[in-house]
């Protein structure tokens, strides 16, 4: 792994390490006391089954562009996910979403950084998928920010959470089919040209299912002048593929 955290991340990490001494954490995956993310849960993380579509990262029979991307190519250059959305990452992301486990987000950011290092992607800035004003008001924070912010520090890339906004509230994507998901988020984002023009953007979300949200947000960024958008999520929901072909993913030990 070639990641060499700068002073910004080291200060951030020291802060959370100090808080861990005062308030011992519990593993986000299994609840083991004393660590934010334990070695056992790390070993249980599972890679997306390969091969995958070159663009959307969907598992398929051969390495090529899938029929969905050929029919309607997404706005992002590529979408990839670090692991399958199942235990132990499912409960961990649930804690990020509903319990504001900021320290857990900092720990999981190392997995994302290791995955990016493997992919070889380079970006100028990291942007999280934003919540609508209504949902942000209800929750009080954006759970994607909890991983994306420390990730930007780790990669020494600029963090631009204000560069992308939701122009309207959208219903939850849970329970919607692929077409309904696309319609639900179509035109739902607006990007700030002065912040994204000419930049290569890493767009982050927590979980990918069809990629509709990331596609719509990427389109807004490209229309605002972004040179290129790479989409990345920590997890991907795998529904129509068996899990027997999934291999374990081992990244750098997390803090």
Least confident of 11-25, 61-75, 143-157: 11-25
Q: What is the per-residue pLDDT for 245?
A: 40
The set of long-range contacts for 69-77, using a CB threshold of 8 Å and a minimum separation of 24, is 74/211, 74/214, 74/215, 74/218, 74/231, 75/215, 75/216, 75/218, 75/219, 75/221, 75/222, 75/229, 76/203, 76/211, 76/214, 76/215, 76/218, 76/229, 76/230, 76/231, 77/228, 77/229, 77/230
CATH fold of 7-236 reads: Rossmann fold (3.40.50)
Tell me whether residue 217 is exposed, middle or buried, using C-beta atoms within 10 angstroms of its C-beta: 0 to 12, 13 to 18, 19 or more.
Answer: buried
Domain boundaries along the sequence of the chain: 7-236
Q: How far apart are CA 142 and CA 132, in angstroms?
A: 10
The string of DSSP codes covering 13-45 is HHHHHHHHHHS--B-TTT--BT-SS-HHHHHH-
Q: What is the per-residue pLDDT for 250?
A: 47
Provide the CA 205 distance to its chain's centre, in angstroms. Answer: 4
Q: Stretch 24-39: mean pLDDT, rounded?
A: 95
Tens-place pLDDT, residues 198-251: 999 999 999 998 899 999 999 999 999 999 999 999 999 986 544 434 344 444
pLDDT band with cut points at 50, 70 and 90 for residue 44: very high
Q: What is the per-residue pLDDT for 238?
A: 80
Structure tokens at 51: 């091969």
Contact 191, 226 (CB under 8 A): yes
Does residue 97 surpass a pLDDT of 80? Answer: yes
Q: How far apart are CA 220 and CA 217, in angstroms?
A: 5
Q: How far apart are CA 31 and CA 93, in angstroms?
A: 13
Which pTM was predicted?
0.87
């Amino acid at each position: 792994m070639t990641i060499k955290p700068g002073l910004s991340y080291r200060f951030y990490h020291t802060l959370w390490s100090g808080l861990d001494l005062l308030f011992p954490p519990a593993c986000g995956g299994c609840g083991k006391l004393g660590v934010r993310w334990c070695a056992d849960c790390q070993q249980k993380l599972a890679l997306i089954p390969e091969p995958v579509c070159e663009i959307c990262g969907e598992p398929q029979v051969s390495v090529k562009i899938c029929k969905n991307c050929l029919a309607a190519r997404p706005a992002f250059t590529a979408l990839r996910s670090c692991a399958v959305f199942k235990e132990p990452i499912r409960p961990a992301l649930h804690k990020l979403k509903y319990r504001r486990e900021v320290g857990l987000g900092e720990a999981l950011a190392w997995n994302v950084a290791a995955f990016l290092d493997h992919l070889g992607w380079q970006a100028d800035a990291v942007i999280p998928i934003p919540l609508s004003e209504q949902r942000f008001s209800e929750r009080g924070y954006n759970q994607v920010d909890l991983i994306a912010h420390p990730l930007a520090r780790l990669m020494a890339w600029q963090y631009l959470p204000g560069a992308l906004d939701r122009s309207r509230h959208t219903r939850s994507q849970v329970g919607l089919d692929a077409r309904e998901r696309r319609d639900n988020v179509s035109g739902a984002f607006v990007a700030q040209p002065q912040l994204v023009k000419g930049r290569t953007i890493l767009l982050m979300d927590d979980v990918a299912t069809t990629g509709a949200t990331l596609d719509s947000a990427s389109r807004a960024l490209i229309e605002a002048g972004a040179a290129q958008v790479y989409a990345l999520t920590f997890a991907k929901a795998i529904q129509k593929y068996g899990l027997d072909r999934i291999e374990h993913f081992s990244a750098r030990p997390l803090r």
